[in-house]
A and B are shown apart, each in its own frame.
Chain A
């Protein structure tokens, strides 16, 4: 951190530059300056000035998820994107919208819904949903229940404007959904946690806003029952938009909830069919369960300021492994003496929340054990070699040679827990990722240390 006077080049680059205060700390690391660019030109000038002064830079949207990823090893300048908050274009007839990265998801939603459209992205937040910015959502790769049908930010992004570490402005993609010209830098930047450059503008493909929605809910006695419900829902022809499970602690049933969207008539019909499919105990309800669209919270009902105070762990897996993953979480938690709140999607992503009071070594034990179980998982029920008669020869299940079919990542955690745990685990192609990082940010000034082993 280089405390003291604002470098001249920086104050000349942007109308709003000020010394950082305690509230500007990034995951506990104090910053020296804050710049608030209001245009693409200012974004570029700010980064050029930062390069000249060799400043380490962290980008900030609403600041709701700065505790995701490791704390930066250095943080001189925070570039706050709150003034880059204009919706630049909403071409309703083309189902696309271009926005500056500081636009909040909720503001964008308002603009789009006025034309009967939406950005099919519903990432959870612990209470500050309204503030989340488009740039932050892209950079963290955040997604919510709708990921089952619509994917995550990378699947909805069709164009991006970024500013490189040296201030160069670059565009990739475009304004049309069908476009394969050039490399897909949008995918590269999605989930990159601000380590490759500043996301300044984004163009998304949109979807029609459904006229109606309904939920089908079911209490499930155990992991197997929950997985069976999820499988029935996703393998049905009823095209659910989302299928989630939730359990606040051991000893209570897992709640499954499936979201169906469409026309009023269609939703009524499909919800009834889904309820019949899931069997006794399933019911159709109009409102989402209270836990829907929120991260599981170890502190009881979800609420509170940005980020739960405890540890949040994300497990990604092949959808067919859901029962095994739920059981693995219980096994690993049991041996560590923990009882996490869990919740997640049939798409293959679950989160577990552990209270802040848990001893760091217990959390470390949980993560390590869970990681072993998840990474060691083999193909689930029904996986097979290709039937004979398909073009080519057959192989046996599990010989496809993936090093692992799942991952366990500590998304956010208190300092002592971070110090005790390997937060990222093995990262596939880490060497290639480092090479990409070295090209985009050769001086390693953008969010240094945020992606372990990579950036």
Chain B
């Protein structure tokens, strides 16, 4: 620990109490990575504040002493967004777990950043509401983390992602001020800083209260599982479903290798011999769901599905999802190590890109299991390798990169929901030009001119935020005369 960090640790103990500050080396190790275990860095010091005021005081100290800081929710992120700094502070929001308010008539809830995603839905359920963005890690992942990453989940095709469900944020700015962005209404005056902050991967400040929009629980939910002999047939079914005007709550697809892994892990008993399995979930008013379900069935049959199952109960629904939800962890059964990618391609290019992945995989001699959100083209190729084999990780990373290149070449994105973090910052220049990245970083310069807030994430090259040239603006006359308030 540097002398500076030691000094800072004393200040943090004064702010939050000694019990909230971690300086012991072994304990610090437990925070050295998030869900992206390939990147590790022991933080200089860890602090667990309990209030927004404490977070603000911590950040003020960091700003005063020019020490970088990183925020961490539950540490489930898959891009290293919460990767700490050895010379900095890791601010963990796990103790800020209160659901402060639920307003069912407004379909709003106000929550602290450490509240888990699923806890929001559980608290809303008695009112017939739920919190729609549902990342696979929702039992553990935090709402604050969801805001940072603009997390999605299987149901975001129809219901949107975090940014569609956040209507107000209290944040601590990188210089330690507590301020509200937005006000929970659909039309707060001024710039949409809530929208700019959501998905900024913890680089613009730390959210300390989140006003979420809750969604009415659907009257009916139907889940179908369809088995096809080839990925092509499955993909054609997806296109046909979308083209028919149906917008399912979720459409997921798994290939043979992913199915094999899931079977080994959780015995999900998907239809034998499937080259591809499609999970389609429909939600909405009862009559509509029944009609859509029949239509989806017909489309799948027409595209060659040889077996179709429909869940008749919550238990059966869970059984259908079990395989898909276990997929990432399941590949651990068939491979010592793996890299999970998060590229997106336009749905119409899915077939081509999947073929390209097959070719790349064969050429490299590296297996790739495919699990993806077929409805929105978000792929999760799982690149499998044996990390005890010399050079295997390197080759797997190269293949991973080649897959991302395919996504970009087909007009897609390098990340659909996991974020850029440290994992993909080197790919940003492949997707965006220098002027694009420079312009985005103007935002960063506005919020964090000192460059202390989660530095080194998202952008490969930080922009220098010098003195702003030009005329210094005088306060608005209404502010000067005291008629206009400022928060």
Contact = CB atoms under 8 A, between A and B. Distances in A.
Contacts of B411: 174-176
Contact of A154 (B127, B195, B239): B195
Interface string A165-181: 00011111011111111
Interface stretch (A22-30, A213-221, A281-289, A396-404): A396-404
B106 A380 contact: yes
Interface of A: 91-96, 116, 141, 143, 147, 151-152, 154-155, 162, 164, 168-172, 174-188, 190-192, 196, 207-209, 211, 231, 234-239, 262-263, 265-266, 269-270, 273, 314, 316-321, 347-349, 379-387, 390-395, 397-407, 409, 422, 424-436, 438-440, 442-444, 451-454
Contacts of B420: 180-182
Interface stretch (B256-264, B270-278, B310-318, B432-440): B432-440
Interface string B213-235: 00011110000000000000000
Contacts of B149: 180
B106 A320 contact: yes
Nearest to A153: B192
Given A176-B344, A452-B478, A432 B446 contact: yes
Interface residues of B, number: 126
B3 interface: no
Contact of A426 (B200, B216, B484): B484
Contact of B242 (A93, A179, A235, A381): A93
Given A181-B413, A391-B115, A428-B189, 6 more contacts: A176-B416, A180-B149, A273-B285, A320-B104, A392-B114, A436-B196
A191 B185 CA distance: 14
Contact of B192 (A191, A231, A314): A191
B348 A426 contact: no
B252 interface: no
A406 B187 CA distance: 9
Interface in B390-422: 411-420
5 contacts: A95-B242, A172-B440, A191-B192, A391-B97, A438-B473
A436 B376 contact: no
A180 B187 contact: no
A383 B104 contact: yes
A79 B209 CA distance: 40
B183 A405 contact: yes
Contacts of A94: 346-348, 377
Contact of A235 (B128, B179, B284, B428): B128
Contacts of B445: 439
Contacts of B267: none
Nearest to A380: B105
A93 B377 CA distance: 11
A155 B346 CA distance: 19
A386 B446 CA distance: 36
Given A185-B440, A320-B106, A444-B470, A399 B100 contact: yes
Contacts of B122: 390-391
B180 A428 contact: yes
Contacts of A152: 186-187
A183 B103 contact: no
Sorted from nearest, which 3 A-B pairs have the closest CB atoms?
A187-B195, A320-B105, A392-B97
A182 B109 CA distance: 27
Interface in B142-171: 149-150, 152, 156-157, 160-161, 163-164, 168, 170
Contact of A179 (B102, B185, B200, B415): B415
Given A93-B348, A432-B179, A179 B442 contact: no
A168 B438 CA distance: 10
Given A266-B288, A403-B487, A433-B190, A170 B344 contact: no
B119 A402 contact: no
A222 B405 CA distance: 60
Contacts of A395: 98-101
A427 B412 CA distance: 36
B104 A382 contact: yes
B107 interface: yes
Most buried by B among A231, A270, A438: A438
A180 B415 contact: yes
B439 A170 contact: yes
Nearest to A177: B376
B184 interface: yes
A194 B308 CA distance: 52
A231 B190 CA distance: 28
B263 to A, nearest CB: 27
A277 B481 CA distance: 52
Contact of B287 (A154, A266, A454): A266
B173 interface: yes
A435 B445 CA distance: 8
A155 B162 CA distance: 11
Contacts of B163: 184, 187
B106 A394 contact: no
Given A176-B345, A426-B487, A443-B471, A407 B101 contact: no
A400 B209 contact: yes
A330 B164 CA distance: 32
B124 to A, nearest CB: 9
A451 B108 CA distance: 28
A231 B106 CA distance: 9
Contacts of B243: 92-93
A284 to B, nearest CB: 16
A392 B115 contact: yes
A31 B160 CA distance: 42
Contacts of A409: 189
Nearest to A445: B470
A314 B101 contact: no
Interface in B84-112: 97-110, 112
Interface in B20-69: none
Interface in B468-485: 468-471, 473, 475-476, 478-479, 483-485
Given A178-B378, A211-B245, A393-B98, A318 B184 contact: yes
